[in-house]
Structure 1
């Protein structure tokens, strides 16, 4: 790890370490080496004082156009921070010294179902959850379609990630990519097969594949375990099978896995609160949890000079908002 010196006394400092996220690793998927390598994590952000390091976050550091400035973002999903010292209250970003980071801003995606890693934060959305300790709730027409698909010969394979074959992963890549094209997803949501190979090397990951009566892959999902929960991570349905909606059978199978382990299953949310995707997931959930993010401006002057102080957008950082059209 790169050398760093913590500022002593009551002054708490945030520092950026060029270590590919090693200081922020834990046994949980969203802070695992497999995930960091797949996502391209480049640095750790370490917050500490004279009593030692309090927390460490994985970051992807990027240049900001031709400005010569840098900003950072945590990887996709729900990584939050590796908590090294459990304080009674999380650190307040406004009270930290960010000058040593050399960053303009940081966008942090927090953990689900746990206290936030920083004080404050934005309730970005809610995720739908299946909680095994509560009565199972599956929308009636969803349950009917699941049973009908089973009668037609659709079945779901639940495969431990490390045991998946090239055929398994390529068939999932095909249905996932087809789905992303169908919804005109941003480029960020398209992945090469090697990405799936990397994340499925994590020991507590699973690939669910719905097979048609002809044994073609009709739908699929990747589920991972992190922070004492199962998380639906990525999924999709082959266009030709979409009318039968075999993805419902996949979700039902992931709920069975959560019940087997006795842990909550995070089904995620929608693209926007209240949209059709969120409503679909609500059809399987019996609880919900907040998804918290933190929008941290490390260098207010640089942020303002880049056009970040706009009030007409919720996008963060504002200077990276995609142009309309």
Structure 2
């Protein structure tokens, strides 16, 4: 049986996520409600008590009467009441056929989703083809002791943590309009400094929404040097996983490396909340750049990050490329390519 839900079907969406064997805050109804780049859609294929659900964003392809499917910012992909490695092969094959029928009926040319590095979603999606290796994400294993964790720190990382201890830095879990205003000031300064695109800037309503939901545990943490907030982050604690969502540091305090101390403190907090992993993320575009190497200063544990890039209608996909005079074999790492530039 196939079911299709929109953002107006909150009880059904929430119910499926709650029944999932593996999920993160990226899958939730509330996080999808914040999305403005497409219409949130939850595709569900179900046989008796077993189901496979796939949250996506349906988007109009400009200049056509066709659509494509994208995903929220972060790691989403399909989820199920069973772990991906435990899904019956017949169920996976039936899901594939049902999903292909859905793509055809909805006139969807392509599908793109960032796959969750902690779940074996490739075991399902590789049946379609289009699974891409995109790099790695850096992870701290919180099942080890904090002492063992810190023994793996790069010397410069541990030095920054010790410097913060000596200076008396403190991290506070804060709520309310003043905390959000403080976060926005620090985060926007950081995004301006690194010349981030407009998509990395959010308004106050977004922060109020993302921080206030029972579907996951979102926290705003401010790091203080005395009475001055110098680093601020929003982190999510969901189903055993900490996700570093957004972070910023005041320019004048960069030389103190407060974000290193913040990460160490979050790992301590995560243990108290029963978390198993702290995902620091990858480099910019998941390249092994300076950001990636900075994160490796905490741990040598990395998980593979994959994306799913599926062309459902090859002839229409090629037609859209021809309209923009784009060569599909140009070696451009972007999907779907007809949305490039």
TM surpasses 0.5:
yes
**283, 303, 311: which one aligns with 1:289:** 303
User: 1:274 maps to what in 2?
Assistant: 288
**97, 114, 123: which one aligns with 2:133:** 123
Deviations 1:59-103 (A, max 9, x none): 222222222322221111112223156623584797633202221
**219, 238, 245: which one aligns with 1:206:** 219
61-70 vs 184-193, which deviates more? 61-70
Q: Are 2:331 and 1:318 equivalent residues in the alignment? A: no
User: 2:255 maps to what in 1?
Assistant: 243
**144, 160, 163: which one aligns with 2:159:** 144
Deviation at 1:223, TM superposition (A): 1.3
Could you tell me which runs of 5 or more consecutive residues in structure 2 were left unpaired when the two chains were aligned: 19-23
Deviation at 1:306, TM superposition (A): 0.6
**55, 65, 70: which one aligns with 1:68:** 65
Q: Are 2:276 and 1:263 equivalent residues in the alignment? A: yes
Residue correspondences, number: 305
Deviations 1:34-81 (A, max 9, x none): 212222462324253776873222222222222232222111111222
User: 1:183 maps to what in 2?
Assistant: 194
Mapped contact 2:112–2:309 kept (Cα < 8 A): yes
Mapped contact 1:54–1:83 kept (Cα < 8 A): yes
RMSD: 2.6
**34, 39, 55: which one aligns with 2:30:** 34
Measure the CA separation in 2 of the matches of 1:119 and 1:73.
15
User: 2:181 maps to what in 1?
Assistant: 170
Measure the CA separation in 2 of the matches of 1:172 and 1:50.
45
Deviation at 1:315, TM superposition (A): 0.6
Deviations 1:151-179 (A, max 9, x none): 223211134xxxx1111111111111111
37-46 vs 61-70, which deviates more? 37-46
Mapped contact 2:230–2:258 kept (Cα < 8 A): yes
Measure the CA separation in 2 of the matches of 1:56 and 1:140.
44
Measure the CA separation in 2 of the matches of 1:61 and 1:31.
15
SS in 2 for 1:306: helix
SS in 2 for 1:61: strand
Q: Which has the higher helix share?
A: 2
SS in 1 for 2:108: coil
Measure the CA separation in 2 of the matches of 1:238 and 1:177.
10
Measure the CA separation in 2 of the matches of 1:302 and 1:54.
31
Q: Are the structure 2 counterparts of residues 21 and 128 from structure 1 closer, same or farther at C-alpha, using a change threshold of 3 Å?
A: farther
User: 2:21 maps to what in 1?
Assistant: none
Measure the CA separation in 2 of the matches of 1:295 and 1:126.
17
Normalised TM-score (structure 1): 0.84
Normalised TM-score (structure 2): 0.80
